[in-house]
Chains A and B, each alone.
Chain A
């Protein structure tokens, strides 16, 4: 297991390095003049030149790349091209805000999706099963912003059950009130992720239901329901957790649109702001950090899988 873990961590670093490479070269190779985009189309030749020298854009690309990486490794995330303040300062608060939203979302998404998957598996082939699987996957292909707008219309405007903004008004930001404000945005994310997670749970439970230990449990006198609770869930849940970790990219990608609709000052809002302001030093680092977070969770997912299934361990170390 140790050899596998080390090897898997090594691979994660390779992937992270490649992400950095892709992000950097995408920003610099694609047509589009960074200086002109920052300073405006009518900027003087002289100020463009100065801007490039000041930010090191006159150096060869590879040198620029390694300067960027070295600074990052030393904890220096650079300076915003637009506002001049440090990127780490700009990123910190929104990142925490988004993490809060993501955590609240996961607390809503995971139990509901797992429950849906268990129900679908127990009623396999019946109408409920088809409703959950087809309905879940259909909901998953509808973009978050469409769900957000529909949710706001339904529960924020027509029936005023939930607030239409994800951020409580100043002075009312108590713990529960903050969570209350996050329920609608979380529901938008739930609708997109429910289908994938419940499908995996369903598959795990279906497999477990057909297993020998399940038959033994029923023969021992357990009802089907209690056998599922006591035996099946334990076996079906861990792969589900691993899959949830692999869904993190979709969750993070969904944050951009959801935060915009619900006026939530998180990472997605910051990212979108950097796109609109063409603030590339912020953008580059923010995208790389997104990649790092996702790679981290995928690593966790893979390690979890490996703990569960020694055969995977073998395949990677060979």
Chain B
């Protein structure tokens, strides 16, 4: 019974710590910029249809490859499609794919890492060996192999593949944190109370390894954006003809030799801004968690 009051104070201190961290983050300029840019692209992903000025496939054959102007803010491509609208709506696929792949990787990786770190033994050894083997192949190359083996490019398949490729790294982070936590008395206490193992893993240990997990999530999200964009650029990430940034760059970049730079540069800058925003966020989080 004496455990209850301590638990409450813990919750209270944790709230204070959380508030303090939030205050530090709010003062961190690069973090705030990162959040602003990311939120902007998430809003575009959700409400893009209403922000875009033209339909995504609406062609203006009288104005193909026209330079940025009042009518077409970012110019038009060789089909006379409005680049601005395509960039705004193009945010949807990459945002959805990167977030889903990272979420999947986190889910699978966290479970694996918790189990490996808690039970150790042969499961841990085998898992760690496999993780090392998977990380010996560059993400893009293993993803290309998997996509080729499945035989077609689709959003869902790319999400699944990147999610699974990322799970080892997350598992490693969680495992390392669990190895540290498992030594603490609260775990021994939970065992003495004969709590069930899933309860110990997910309700006792998991909350305590959240900080490194959150940072790892943002770092992976950055890599997911990198990977999704690159795969689409290579023509393997999404269905052909999708209004996706990587695909837009791939379809238009040969035009830059004729000085028609706008259909390529704007989606390229969009990819860069999204990736950098996530990096600034993880950088800020890393600082406040003092990892």
Contacts and interface: CB of A to CB of B under 8 A. Distances in A.
Contacts, number: 153
Contacts of A271: 141, 144
Contacts of B130: 18, 22
Contact of B134 (A22, A141, A256): A22
Contact of B151 (A23, A31, A153): A31
A250 interface: yes
Interface string A256-275: 11001100000000011011
Given A15-B133, A137-B279, A26 B146 contact: yes
Contacts of A143: 226, 229-230, 233, 271, 275
A138 B281 CA distance: 11
Interface string A270-306: 0110111010100110010011001100100000000
Interface in B146-194: 146-152
Interface string A25-63: 011101111000100000000000000000000000000
Interface stretch (B50-58, B208-216, B251-259): B251-259
A72 to B, nearest CB: 16
Q: How extensive is the interface on chain A, given as a class?
A: 35 or more
Contacts of A217: none
A294 B142 CA distance: 13
Given A143-B226, A143-B229, A283 B148 contact: yes
Contacts of B134: 22
B12 interface: no
B268 interface: yes
B25 interface: no
A238 interface: no
Contact of A153 (B148, B236, B265): B265
Interface residues of B, number: 51
Nearest to A295: B136
A145 B230 contact: yes
Interface in B222-272: 222-223, 225-226, 229-230, 233-236, 246, 249, 253, 256-257, 259, 261, 264-265, 268, 271-272
Contact of B145 (A146, A253, A283, A294): A283
Interface string B90-102: 0000000000000
Quick one: which of A149, A278, A295, A298 has the most chain B CB within 10 A? A149
Contact of B148 (A14, A261, A278, A291): A278
A37 B136 contact: no
Contacts of A276: 235
A18 B129 CA distance: 8
B234 A256 contact: yes
A141 B144 contact: no
Nearest to B221: A141
A11 to B, nearest CB: 8
B271 A157 contact: no
B230 A138 contact: no
B195 interface: no
Nearest to A294: B136
B104 interface: no
B233 A252 contact: no
Contacts of B24: none
A150 B276 CA distance: 16
22 contacts: A18-B133, A21-B133, A26-B146, A30-B150, A31-B150, A31-B151, A32-B150, A32-B151, A32-B152, A134-B280, A149-B256, A149-B264, A157-B261, A257-B234, A271-B144, A275-B147, A275-B234, A278-B151, A280-B148, A287-B145, A291-B133, A298-B136
Interface of B: 30, 129-130, 132-142, 144-152, 222-223, 225-226, 229-230, 233-236, 246, 249, 253, 256-257, 259, 261, 264-265, 268, 271-272, 275-276, 278-280, 283
9 closest cross-chain pairs (CB), A and B? A253-B138, A32-B151, A18-B133, A30-B149, A141-B275, A141-B279, A275-B148, A138-B276, A142-B272
